[in-house]
Amino acid sequence: MRIVLCVKRDILGNLALNRLARHLKSHELTVLLSDKVMPEERTPGSPADQLFFERDLPVDHLFPALDACPQTVEPRALTFNGLARKFGIDMEVVANINAPETLGRMRALQPDLMLSNRFDLIFRAEAIGVPRLGLFNLHPGALPHYRGLYAPFRALMNGEQKMGCTLHAIDPGIDTGPVVDIAWIAADRSKSVFWHYVQLYQAGADLFAELVAKIEGGWTPKAEPQQEGEATYYKYPNNDELEAFRKSGGKLFDTLEYRELLTDYR
């Protein structure tokens, strides 16, 4: 099948793409990358610090350095350029997924399926209608209870024992499309919000790969409408909420976890 993967150009998007590319290597893949950064993510303090480790450090420094170094043994995780070389993936950065030139590019690809994973760009009706078998999203929260931003943080704040990464069809709303399935992980309060993001997107990548395999076997994708009465939409946490999380023992980010994660690239 022809599959277009829409992924954010940061380390979380890269790790998810590593998983997806290995699952889907028998398919014809194209990757569209988003570089969008929300103003809230540049807020001085913890959000900006986390953005540095999620995007600025890997994309601007670590990945270029890795690409420039010859490697005798293939690492467990490849940079975006490394994935493009290994799997023969056409990969490009797009600023506006709904722009006429981008829509024309996507239509020319004639995708059977499209997946948005941490993409941060909103798909409008024309873009939603491009793939033959549907446009899907991986949302790092259990829908409809955790719509919106920073869902793992909210789940930890709410004392959830487990967290879900939801595979759902994209509709014109925000996180409102019908749900195909949810991949669950156990919440671990000794770990950071960042760590939970990694685990959720890995579980979600596995879920999408299962969907692709089922479609190959002749299964027609089925999705259940969300129950609006159960829905909650969360905005990015404010300073008071971030401070309350810290005082409760929560961590947005942990450098030891990050260093361990980086060993996958060497």
Ranges of each domain in the chain: 2-265
Instruction: Give which of 53, 61, 38 is closest to 197, Cα–Cα.
Output: 53
| CB-neighbour burial class of residue 173 (10 A; exposed 0-12, middle 13-18, buried 19+) | exposed
Other Cβ atoms closer than 10 A to 226: 21
| CB-neighbour burial class of residue 4 (10 A; exposed 0-12, middle 13-18, buried 19+) | buried
DSSP three-state, residue 78? coil
Does position 198 have pLDDT exceeding 90, yes or no?
yes
The confidence score (pLDDT) of residue 72 equals 79
User: Phi and psi of 30, rounded to 5°?
Assistant: -130, 140
In this predicted model, what pLDDT tens digit does every residue of 209-228 receive, in sequence order? 999 999 999 988 889 999 99
CA 15, 19, 21, 27 dihedral sign is negative
Does position 40 have pLDDT exceeding 80, yes or no?
no
Architecture of domain 2-265: 3-Layer(aba) Sandwich (3.40)
Record the pTM: 0.95
